[in-house]
Amino acid sequence: MTNTLARSDPIRDRYYAWIEYVERATSISFYLAAVASLLVLFIHRRVHPSIYQLVQLLFVLLVVTVFLTALITRLYLQPRAQDARRSELLSSAFNVSLTHTRTVGYYNNTETEPMARLAMCLFENCFFGKSIVHKMLITERAKTTVYLAIWAIVALMRNSPMELVAIAAQIVFSEEILLRWFRLEWARSRYEQIYKELFLILSTERKRPHFSALVLEAFGSYETGKTLTGIVLPSRIFTRLNKQLSSEWLEIRDSLPS
């Protein structure tokens, strides 16, 4: 995952870029739906029946859009991208062709033994993954805290209509806000756990008979973790951090016993 002149990642361009586009559309639709649901409270149905109906229709259309885009992402785009990335990872580790879509310069290690190379590729992925998720969480924690604070203020105010409190709760305790924060925290924990396990495996277990079993167990944990969280690491954060993280990765890689 380093930044070299020959670096090429057609899998991100072909698969993960689409996920980012659709997730962006889902987020925009969600926030527009939230605004529409709040607007309904301030529009008198009898005084402005046409505007009220229009806002209600817009709300329904946005909710359906959020549902459909989320469904497409979870059941089609993400599995397709993860299958492509997994096939390429195994192709790189075992020097076989499980897919015609291959990356160049994506993994940076000199291991030639298949299981050792798989372990190093996973180790590199977890290093980059935990670093990028940590950066994502800085913004996500702040955003979630603000939303929770606003909801708490609205809920504790005596004059707040229950409809407003309910709508605010639906917004805050949704997939886009609170659950997304939980998923990011879990992803960070998962990356860090597997990273520590692989560091120990590569440092102390490389010469032992059960080395392959430990690597395969880490591989399974890594893949199930990606599937459960459904978190796509943004390309803009990767690009911004790539030079720094690549330098750190080289130091970590070279510190491991051969």
Residue 66: count other Cβ atoms within 10 Å of its Cβ. 22
Residue 75 backbone dihedrals phi, psi, to 5 degrees: -100, -10
pLDDT for position 247: 95
Name the band, by pLDDT with cuts 50, 70 and 90, for residue 33: very high
pLDDT for position 6: 56
Both structure tokens of 45: 């149905």
Residue, of 258 and 228, whose pLDDT is higher: 228
Statement: residue 93 has pLDDT above 60: yes
pLDDT for position 41: 84
What does the pLDDT average to over 138-153?
94
Statement: residue 69 has pLDDT above 90: yes
Residue by residue, DSSP assigns the chain as ----TT-B-HHIIIIIHHHHHHHHHHHHHHHHHHHHHHHHHTS-TTTSHHHHHHHHHHHHHHHHHHHHHHHHIIIIIHHHHHHHHHHHHHHHHHT--S-S---BSSS-----SHHHHHHHHHHHHHHHHHHHHHHHHHHHHHHHHHHHHHHHHHHH-TT--HHHHHHHHHHHTSTTTHHHHHHHHHHHHHHHHHHHHHHHHHHHSTTSTTHHHHHHHHHHHHHHHHHHH-PPPPHHHHHHHHHHHHHHHHHHHHHS--
Mean pLDDT of the chain: 92
Statement: residue 5 has pLDDT above 70: no
Separation of CA 127 from chain center = 15
Name the band, by pLDDT with cuts 50, 70 and 90, for residue 40: confident
Statement: residue 177 has pLDDT above 80: yes
Both structure tokens of 253: 């890689």
pLDDT for position 80: 96
Question: What is the pTM (predicted TM-score) of this model?
Answer: 0.90
Statement: residue 129 has pLDDT above 70: yes
Residue 69: count other Cβ atoms within 10 Å of its Cβ. 21
Name the band, by pLDDT with cuts 50, 70 and 90, for residue 225: very high
Half-sphere exposure at residue 136, Cβ-oriented, CA atoms within 13 angstroms: 23
Statement: residue 1 has pLDDT above 60: no
Q: Which of 20-29, 152-161, 190-199, 217-226 has the lowest mean pLDDT?
A: 152-161
Q: Cα separation of 119 and 222, whole Å?
A: 11
Name the band, by pLDDT with cuts 50, 70 and 90, for residue 218: very high
What does the pLDDT average to over 31-40?
92
- Tokens 């089609």, residue? 76
